[in-house]
Amino acid sequence: MELLFVTDLLESFKTYKDSTFAMMREARRRGHTIHACEPRHMLWVRGGVVQAQVRSITLTGDATDWFVEAPSQTRFIKDFGAVVMRKDPPFDSEYFYATHLLEQAEREGAKVFNKPRALRDHPEKLAILEFPQFIGPTLVTRDAQAIKRFHTEHKDIILKPLDGMGGMGIFRVRDDGLNLGGIIETLNKDGAQTVMVQKFLPAIALGDKRVLVIGGKPVPFCLARIPQGGEVRGNLAVGGKGVAQPLSDSDRAIAESLGPILAARGLLLVGLDVIGDSLTEINVTSPTCFQEITDQTGFDVAAMFVDALEAAVF
Which positions are catalytic? Answer: 125, 160, 210, 225, 233, 273, 281, 283
CA distance linking residue 192 with residue 164, whole number of Å? 16
In this structure, what is the dihedral angle of CA atoms 43, 46, 49, 51, given to the nearest 10 degrees?
Answer: -20
- Name the DSSP letter for residue 71: P
CA distance linking residue 305 with residue 311, whole number of Å? 10
| CB contact at 8 A, 237 and 288 | no
CA distance linking residue 302 with residue 59, whole number of Å? 16
Helices (H), the chain: 19-29, 93-107, 116-121, 144-154, 180-188, 249-264, 290-297, 301-313
CA distance linking residue 117 with residue 4, whole number of Å? 18
